[in-house]
Amino acid sequence: MRTPLRRSLRTRLALLASIAMLLLNIVVSTFALIRVRDDAIEVRAREVSGAALQVLLQLKRGRLPDLLPPRGLDGIQVVNPSGWVVSSTPNLIGEPRQTSAFPSSDQANDVTELCDLPAFPGQCEIVVALRAYQPEGTYVIYAFDRTVPWYVSPQVFVFHLCVAAGLVALAWLGVSRIVNRTLAPVSDITRRLAEISAGGGGMRVPVPETDDEIRALADTANQTLERLETAMRQQDLAMERQRRFAGDASHDLRSPITAMRAQVEEAMLHPEDTDWRETSTEVLASLDRLQAIVTDLLTLTKLDAHAPSRRETVDLSDLVVKESARPRTKHVVTRVEGGALVTGDRLQLARLLTNLLDNAERHAESQIAVTLWRREGQALLEVLDDGGGIAPDQREIVFQRFTRLDDSRNRDAGGTGLGLPIAREIAIAHRGTLALEDSDVGARFVLRLPLTTAEPPEKSAAEPVEEQGQE
């Protein structure tokens, strides 16, 4: 289970900053106390030395009493050349010589700290030793005073403690405030993402005004959300198209099945009056329509699945000439510029041309014009009929699956409504485009495919030709 401390980045950063400030204060205070204590010990040593000098003057003048005044110190001892205590403060009467470890023989005076002296057990003393050279020998004057503790004084310790506590509190509050201000945009982003997850509002997070990593995070999140929103919208459209496609497919498949059923049932009701040859012909016509729809559906499925196809260099000029030369009910005029080489599947490209020509044949009054030329690295194929044309607002509708305009349904009840969608999918699969463009008469379909520089498998006719179909 996660604790609040582990969850809150603000608390963790503030705690780390406070600990760092505390450690820094400990280090700084330690060095400061050491320096202050050294200074205090030096001052205390001068005070003790001053008291010892007064005793030295008394000794030099021959006025050394047996009992010395304390002079604000813990004690004073005067040791004669024989090592006996000849004078001391009242608290050291009867006490032996407190130390003989210093001063050394080559030093006239010395200062040191000594602990657990016989007269001062359990405590440390600043000891000042002065040598007094007399005719009868060398005297040593010892002055004792309590040393400065490690914390110097309670006031100094409390001062350092208060400073450390104040700096730690300031670090906590400062870091908390800075982190809160820095992470406020993150909180807004988190809250907005939660609202988006709950399905509220548009898919965008607020972008902070600062130019930092959080702004970059917000921009990246918005870009991701934008792509996600686009993908979801495309998915919704795809699902809607799929539902509409399924409904249209069901309707178009049901029509020939219903017709065949009605024809067979009628024949079975009156078998003696039925022309079975005529009935068979009608049923075969319905089966042909059903087979055409299923074939087109399979073709679209393969194109949607990006099924692998054969890729080769295709002479589009030769292909256009051959496809346009097939017998048709309308007059076909073909103008071809040779050498239009493209890379693709020859069968699919032939299917594309056939679908365009079939569509033009259904809607033309008397003539179809097929033109192929090369422009700026592209092969441009134009299929133009002299029919009634298509309104500008319906030019994209005709490329939707199972879409047949009212005029088309009236004039050609046998179409599947999949020819133009298949043609466009083939164009897209070959990195090209297929669109309806402006024309003075009829419908003008323009196919654009990228040219290739590879050699064709066999030489094609390069001269412009004109082919006329059957009337």
Please choose, from the candidates 288, 361, 296, the residue with its C-alpha nearest in 3D space to the C-alpha of residue 326. 361
Q: Percent of the chain scored above 70 by pLDDT? A: 86
Q: Is the dihedral of CA 188, 193, 197, 199 positive or negative?
A: positive
Structure tokens at 359: 């569509």
Instruction: Say if residue 245's pLDDT is above 80.
Output: no
Residues of the chain with CATH 3.30.565.10: 308-450
What is the pLDDT at residue 22? 92
Non-local CB neighbours of 57 within 8 Å, separated by 6+ positions: none
Can you tell me the distance from the alpha carbon of 147 to that of 454, in angstroms, rounded to the nearest whole number? Answer: 102
Contacts of 264 (CB under 8 A, 6+ apart): 279, 283
Least Cα distance to 201 among 220, 225, 218, 217 occurs for: 225
Paired tokens of 332 = 């076909």
Strand partners, 15: none
Answer whether the bond into residue 103 is a cis peptide, omega within 30°: yes
Give per-residue pLDDT as tens, 388-423.
888 888 888 888 877 666 555 444 545 567 888 888
Distance between CA 283 and CA 259 in Å, rounded?
8
Quick one: CA torsion of 100, 105, 106, 109, rounded to 10 degrees? 40
* CATH topology classification for 247-302: Helix Hairpins (1.10.287)
Q: Which CATH class is domain 9-155?
A: alpha beta
Give the Cα separation of 370 and 319 in Å (integer): 12
Q: Is the pLDDT of residue 8 over 60?
A: yes
134-164: string of b/e by CB count within 10 Å (b at 16+)? eeeeebbbbbbbebbeebbeeebeeebeeeb
pLDDT of residue 416: 67
Q: Return contacts of 382-385, CB within 8 angstroms, 24+ apart.
A: 382/444, 382/445, 382/446, 382/447, 383/356, 383/357, 383/444, 383/445, 383/447, 384/360, 384/439, 384/441, 384/442, 384/443, 384/444, 384/445, 385/330, 385/360, 385/361, 385/442, 385/443
| pLDDT for the residue numbered 409 | 41
Cβ count within 10 A of residue 64? 18
pLDDT digits (tens, 9 = 90+) for 12-41: 888 899 999 999 999 999 999 899 989 999
CATH 3.30.450.20 residue ranges for the chain: 9-155
- What pLDDT, in 10s, does the model give residues 199-239? 666 677 777 777 677 778 778 878 887 787 778 777 877 67
- Decide yes or no: CATH 2.30.30.140 for domain 308-450: no
pLDDT of residue 457: 54
Lowest mean pLDDT among 40-44, 187-191, 270-274, 459-463: 459-463
Q: Please give the mean pLDDT across all residues of the chain.
A: 82
pLDDT at 468: 43
Q: For residue range 428-447, what is the model confidence (pLDDT) as tens digits?
A: 989 999 999 988 888 999 99
C-beta separation of 401 from 243 below 8 A: no
Distance CA 454, CA 446 (A): 24
Rg (CA), the chain: 55
Distances (CA, A) of 23 to 11, 16, 179, 310: 18, 11, 21, 74
Listed in order, the ranges of the chain carrying CATH 1.10.287 are 247-302
Residue range 445-469, pLDDT digits in tens:
999 999 987 665 554 443 444 444 4
Taking CA 373 as the corner, what is the angle to CA 444 and CA 334, rounded to the nearest 5 degrees? 65
Place of tokens 């003539």: 367
| List of long-range contacts for 363-368, beta carbons under 8 Å, 24+ apart | 363/387, 363/388, 363/407, 363/408, 363/411, 363/442, 363/443, 364/330, 364/442, 366/330, 366/331, 367/330, 367/331, 367/332, 367/333, 368/328, 368/330, 368/331, 368/332, 368/333, 368/469
